[in-house]
Structure 1
Amino acid sequence: MQTRTIALITAAVLALAGGAAWWFTRGQPAPRPPRAQAPAASPAPATPPAATPPLAEAGPEHPIEPEPAASAAPLPALADSDALLGQALAGLVGRSGVLTFLATDGFVRRVVVTVDNLARGMAASRLWPVQATPGRLQLLAAGDAQLIGADNARRYQPFVAFVASVEPSQAAALYRRLYPLFQQAYVELGYPKGHFNDRLVEVIDHLLAAPEPARPPAVALVEVKGEVPSTRPWVRYEYTDPALEALSSGQKIMVRVGLANERRLKGWLAGFRQAVAAQR
């Protein structure tokens, strides 16, 4: 079990960001009514049948309104966007917040790949757009069991406070301004017909559905046999409850940060979702 936290950050602190919304349905065109045949004095020459119209591709479920070009300078290329992102994030959360909590090198790609992986079984920590949370997993002995201790939740409180300090609507405004970069990174990730904002909204919904255990979850250290001892054994803890262990990487993290932190993050995510998702 990783000991770092993760946030669905998109642009600023776009917090903890499943589903498979990037697959699009294609609708069949409505059948044309039969054309009336006019009587002909002589047989007309055969004509090739009309080509079947291409299937219409569904548009994004949650479209992002583009910012008028006259209101801002053009965006840089994705490969050259780190400087702009660093300045934009510092303007939103402060330079100290950026240095303390965020990993800004390749930030756009980090956000996109992490968001895409949060609803899966594994989200590689080396690609996260956030820094490591100091300390290690804190446990509490309860008979023969080991529970995640209250001190573990305290480790995440500075980060959760950092997320909560950002107004969701302001983070969403920056996200919309920079959205073409996120969309390009999503296409390059392997979804040429996908829409990143749809994926983001689906992943946020997935995280909002994370369980909220009333009691601290029990964990167990997974034994790894070999001659070389592990220097970080705490990353090998798993939930003993099969239902919790079967959760996605993102939902496991939501549970691990502690109930109070989880609910606070969910409140932020709900506000951010409202700002970027089409209203139904």
Structure 2
Amino acid sequence: MRRQASTGSWIAAVIVVIALVAAGVWMVRRATQPEVASPPTANAVPPAVSGSAPAPIQHPIAQVQAAPASASTAPLPALDQSDDDVLAALQRLAGDGELSLLLVRPQIIARIVASIDAMPGRSLGGVMMPARPPKGAFVTRELDGQTVIGDNTDRHAPYMAIVEQADPQALVAWYVHAYPLFQQAYEHLGYPHGYFNDRLIAVIDNLLEAPEPAEPPALQPSKGQYVFADPALEARSAGQRLLLRTGPANEATIKAKLRTIRGLLVGQHLQPAAANSAGRMPVPVQR
């Protein structure tokens, strides 16, 4: 079993954001990558471009019917003063576990929005990370003469605990309540005419298209980090590649959570994809 050197590695647990705002999982950034915001990357699912006419809203947040009776109606803080309230709310949603130790401050919502927006692109380089990297090095192993992903269960455990404990309906209810903060952060990111909930649904759909290989995919070293040996896998979006690196069991758990969250947001139920699919999109079924 080998452990990948930290220099240049993008490998680790991508999980907090998916569990907490319905959109993605997080892997550790390069050790040498400065933690600063970058301009929006070229994305596979482009939002409205700054300066262009507003695109029609596809998934209005006002139409989401997911709020339980206990949903908060308290006034929202200003975006630049929201960290304490956001952390407290997410901590409750995550079962009062280790979330406060994993999220990065300041600008929690801005970090979440930037990371979600970047996932369908080719790279997450320069994006403000919303979660701290997991402890330890990314583990690989040898299988039939090839290097493949090893057992990273311990590294992912704190993140997956949050995924498993978070209640989707309560999470969506909080997201709907706090939505004006997400929309404002999205506009500040460079999309004055964009609609964040539409972007979120597009990113979830992109993540759900991640393939589910029957065997651990082969890796090969490249510029101090591992990449997928299969060009078709390496050509996938940054979010899909990160999801693949969490391992098949974690990928299945995260996708199940995403389908539930998406269903609550748009009033559809997504059936699981066929086993070992090559990334075909599940068919939505109207309720």
Please say whether Structure 1 and Structure 2 have the same fold, judged by a TM-score greater than 0.5: yes
Q: Do the aligned partners of residues 57 and 128 (structure 1) sit closer, same or farther apart at CA in structure 2, a change above 3 Å counting?
A: closer
SS at the partner of 1:147? strand
SS at the partner of 2:17? coil
* Max Rg structure: 1
Q: Do the aligned partners of residues 8 and 125 (structure 1) sit closer, same or farther apart at CA in structure 2, a change above 3 Å counting?
A: farther
Asked if 1:237 is matched to 2:226, the reply is yes
Q: Percent identity?
A: 38
SS at the partner of 1:59? coil
Contact preservation (8 Å) 2:13, 2:155: no
> What is the Cα deviation at residue 88 of structure 1?
1.2
> What is the Cα deviation at residue 154 of structure 1?
4.7
Aligned-partner Cα distance in 1 for 2:105–2:266: 25
Q: Do the aligned partners of residues 120 and 58 (structure 1) sit closer, same or farther apart at CA in structure 2, a change above 3 Å counting?
A: closer
SS at the partner of 2:24? coil
Please give the residue correspondences for 1:165-204 in structure 2 after superposition, counting only pairs within 5 Å.
Answer: 165-204=165-204
Aligned-partner Cα distance in 2 for 1:160–1:125: 25
Please give the residue correspondences for 1:20-169 in structure 2 after superposition, counting only pairs within 5 Å.
Answer: 20=45, 22-23=47-48, 58-65=55-62, 72-124=73-125, 127-149=128-150, 151-169=151-169
Asked if 1:253 is matched to 2:242, the reply is yes
> What is the Cα deviation at residue 15 of structure 1?
4.5
Contact preservation (8 Å) 2:19, 2:162: no
Aligned to 2:31: none
Contact preservation (8 Å) 2:97, 2:162: no
Aligned-partner Cα distance in 1 for 2:23–2:231: 27
> What is the Cα deviation at residue 20 of structure 1?
2.7
> What is the Cα deviation at residue 86 of structure 1?
1.5
> What is the Cα deviation at residue 200 of structure 1?
0.3
Please give the residue correspondences for 1:214-225 in structure 2 after superposition, counting only pairs within 5 Å.
Answer: 214-223=214-223
Aligned-partner Cα distance in 1 for 2:102–2:16: 13
Runs of 5+ consecutive residues of structure 2 not aligned to the other structure:
1-8, 26-42, 269-285
SS at the partner of 2:45? coil
Aligned to 1:28: none
Runs of 5+ consecutive residues of structure 1 not aligned to the other structure:
25-55, 224-232
Contact preservation (8 Å) 2:54, 2:194: no
> What is the Cα deviation at residue 130 of structure 1?
1.7
> What is the Cα deviation at residue 76 of structure 1?
1.4
Aligned-partner Cα distance in 1 for 2:190–2:80: 17
> What is the Cα deviation at residue 181 of structure 1?
0.4
CA RMSD of aligned residues (A): 2.5
Count of aligned positions: 234
Q: Deviations over 1:76-114 (max 9, x none)?
A: 111111111122112222444222332242111001100
> What is the Cα deviation at residue 9 of structure 1?
2.5
Aligned-partner Cα distance in 2 for 1:160–1:7: 7
SS at the partner of 2:20? coil
Q: Deviations over 1:158-182 (max 9, x none)?
A: 3223212111111000000100000
Contact preservation (8 Å) 1:201, 1:273: yes
Aligned to 2:209: 209
Contact preservation (8 Å) 1:217, 1:239: yes
Contact preservation (8 Å) 1:7, 1:16: yes
Q: Deviations over 1:185-234 (max 9, x none)?
A: 111111111100000000000000100111111111124xxxxxxxxx4x
SS at the partner of 1:146? strand
Q: Which moved more, 1:98-107 or 1:196-205?
A: 98-107
Aligned-partner Cα distance in 2 for 1:114–1:57: 22
Contact preservation (8 Å) 1:13, 1:163: no
Quick one: which amino acid aligns to residue 16 of structure 1?
Answer: G
Quick one: which amino acid aligns to residue 177 of structure 1?
Answer: H
Q: Do the aligned partners of residues 133 and 125 (structure 1) sit closer, same or farther apart at CA in structure 2, a change above 3 Å counting?
A: farther
Structure 1-normalised TM-score?
0.75
Q: Do the aligned partners of residues 278 and 188 (structure 1) sit closer, same or farther apart at CA in structure 2, a change above 3 Å counting?
A: farther
Q: Do the aligned partners of residues 205 and 126 (structure 1) sit closer, same or farther apart at CA in structure 2, a change above 3 Å counting?
A: closer
Aligned-partner Cα distance in 1 for 2:254–2:11: 17
Q: Do the aligned partners of residues 194 and 131 (structure 1) sit closer, same or farther apart at CA in structure 2, a change above 3 Å counting?
A: same
